[in-house]
Amino acid sequence: MTTFITAGHLITPEQWIDAPVIVVDAGIITDLRARHEIELPAAARCLDFPDLILAPGFIDIHIHGGAGHDVMEADDKALARIEMLMARHGVTAYLPTTVTAPEGRTLQALEHLGKAAGRNENSRRAIPLGIHLEGPFISHAKRGVHPPANLIQPSPGALERFWQASEGKIRLMTIAPEIPGAVETIRYARTLGVHSSLGHSNATYEETRAGIAAGADHATHTFNAMRPLDHRDPGILAAVLEDDGLSADIIVDGIHVDPSVVRLFLRAKGDDRAVLITDAISATGMPEGVYKLGDFEVQVKDGRCESAGKLAGSVLTLDRAIRNVMGFAHWQLQRAVKLATLNPARLLGVTNQRGLVATGRRADLVALTHDGTVVHAIIGGELIGDSPNTRSK
């Protein structure tokens, strides 16, 4: 059945369109016009959001869990609850993200997540596009809360084991470029179609440049778990911030990175190469208390997630991250939305499907207020159940 979706405005995000009409058949956008250019059939099935702004569904490429569950649980019901929570906050696609664990446990989680990433896309919740492997190829010096006993030296063979377990569904790999074997592993990742993201790293500037030359094209939660920037020892941060060919993500919750540094990051990477992530853990959407990240416990209080005194993920949602960019950097909604839609889609190479509202793309959308508050999510042209901010039309 054909569905007509109308709203007050549309962010594509490359354009701002007033009074749009989006035509959807079988979950795909087949036409997109201004309201005055098309006549709706009298008996048309219509989703109308006259006071709201439509935008592409958000894409979170770094998320560990939510709704009391962790993606490492290897449980279908747990994953479904995480995905429903994400959808209520406007996330329609994502990369479930592992955390360093004993290799057997990681392989088990990858096997389960690989099967989940291959499921039918006619889902009324956020859809996994693949897997983000965060750890175990990271630096001891900048491991954060990742268990040191489970870190391993990167090698093409080690990556191949993880790749096979995931049924070829690993799309992104966080790796410290200074570790022996990292450059060779980054090169091998390219042959598999896996994007290498530089992070959890104590790399020098030269070591970082070697990782980029080998094929790394992204950076993980910039500033966090990275060698500090020094004017005589620029390190990984200088390479990440200056390289126009490298995209980079950041946790904009006001806890992981100070708002002034967020503004500097956005000036350096611009609205084409900056990506918003949540790094959210099982505590997201839950009361304060003690929760799990992989195999270890995290204390959550006043919005901070800590394990042994160190930050351990967040309870951030992607819609809140967009609003924080608007507040911290005084960006307009259209510009901020791009960091959670088109930019991650470009990194993953899925702009022919997601991240952009245009004909031929999936009808994965979010309906927002002018301040960026999510009111509704639409997946495959179908309105998802009540969001945290649903208003009657």
What is the total residue count of the chain?
393
Cβ–Cβ < 8 Å for 297, 283: no
DSSP state, residue 362: B
Bridge partners, residue 16, by sequence? 11
DSSP tag of 194: P
The answer to whether 345 and 129 are in contact (CB under 8 A) is no
DSSP 23-41: EEETTEEEEEEEGGG----
Nearest to 137 by CA among 96, 94, 172, 95: 172
CA 127 to CA 123: how far, in whole Å?
A: 7
Residues with Cβ < 8 Å from 275, sequence gap 6 or more?
Answer: 61, 218, 247, 248, 249, 250, 339, 340, 343, 344, 347
User: Would you name the residues annotated as active-site residues?
Assistant: 279
- Answer left, alpha or beta for residue 178, where phi above 0 means left and psi between -120 and 50 means alpha: alpha
Sheet with 58-63, edge to edge strand ranges? 58-63, 91-96, 127-128
Backbone angles phi, psi at 119, to 5 degrees: -75, 165
Q: Do 23 and 2 form a contact (C-beta atoms < 8 A)?
A: yes
Helices 318-329 and 259-273 cross at an angle (nearest 10°) of 110
Q: In whole angstroms, what is the distance from residue 138 CA to residue 140 CA?
A: 7
Instruction: Round to whole Å and give the CA distance between 29 and 234.
Output: 46
For the record, the structure tokens of 1 come out as 């059945």
